[in-house]
Structure 1
């Protein structure tokens, strides 16, 4: 049988090519879900970063998203205070939360918290994070450690989440803390929903825990709302100084946060030898190097269960 000529072969393939275009092109278009807007920048004051809010961002991924049919006992917002330059650290922290088991019957959202971003390079790179992850909060303050950032965070949250997506609890933590969300959820489940102040308690002046360690502490929504409206904090200039100690001072003077819970020894600093991990850990702090994060991931089996592949050979 004589083979068809080359032009004839192309004519025979044309119908097949048309069918492929008809059926494949729709699948290549972004779905409505892919194009949805996320929270992105919740409060951006500088033009360099504000421009990023016009770009559609993916919806933030909840650390703990129960199935639609599962009832939710409570919701928690975790604010991780960080700085624009710590991009590698944020990538590690994101993985640390994403690879954890889900906290049952709880909704837990994690947001990275910044003050105003004024450097144009930082603003551009942070805009990429916003577009990719949608987990950024930029507050109206000057970047600092002990000059009001904690106050800006707690006083902004009730306003930013006033409509619809409010939380039962609000947490402040740092980017050198490994927080085990499911273990924290167990501690919060069954606790009151009002006047709560929970964390690593410091004993001082004969009081068992006048304030909580800055590695991470939780307050109920009403406490955060009180901070947002407490004019006396600003009148006393009490936003300046060691911020976690000052936060305890605010509550002590106002008689707030009376339901206090000390999570020692389940919240702790990692020691020099990195040999004081606990299996019942809620939070481990001072993970300021990649070596410390690696030791933490190894202890809690975060790196276990990687499927064999010819593409990677890890020790």
Structure 2
């Protein structure tokens, strides 16, 4: 048996759907979750790809996620829209409201989208990259569970608290970055543990507040912010803007709300959408060209733009399929109890 299994995007999506539907999750949520998982795996974001199905199923089976969630859209003002996810997955609520948020941004130049009471497990770039492909700029923020110690502290307080930004480009892929304010994503530490690998120094501390490179000790202790006090301040900003500002939980509250189930974090998300056409009017083309001058000068120094590796991985996946470890593939099939024979034969072939 080989160490890896290769799936087409269609096969991966079918596998996701079957696993999620087996839990009793509604079809709409299953489709939205599958889409974001396969999108991440397509771009070789392994910590947010097919591996995340294991956590999603656990979150559903432990009674946290509302399997039949019915998101409720609240048109709050000309530039603000909120959606109550009804304790379902954020990706489903996002799909229910994003067209209204975009319409507001195109009318006002700037719109804020707040998603409340949602279970969020995914990367943020799948939500904002399509906006940039439509000529918009966007910024997304969300907390998580309290897994990260503040700079100078030794106890978990912040979430991994990612920030993502997307900028439109006339030619080629949008300029996109997406990073946790923690020194690494929690999923990366979990994957290192699955592979029996040590993590790099400076990412986490153990329960006694001492530096550790052991993934299991890191998960029991606390992760660290990137850049010391700078990352810590940004993490606090995410807590405030995607928590109290939109009437939702801090990471500390999300962890308490979980009640030890070990489910995906339940909290809020804030997405800001900008329409450069409204900001700039007749000077749109000239100013987008100035942005390209910035990118050209970055590349001209031999540096790379964020997401270049991801875009390259995307092309490879579209041409050659998605490759995951055999161990992960077997774990996913186990979630099906007994996977349909036709599917198993197709995937293993």
Normalising by structure 1, report the TM-score.
Answer: 0.28
Q: Which structure is richer in relative contact order (CA contacts within 8 A, separation 6 or more)?
A: 2
More helix by share: 2
TM-score w.r.t. length of structure 2: 0.26
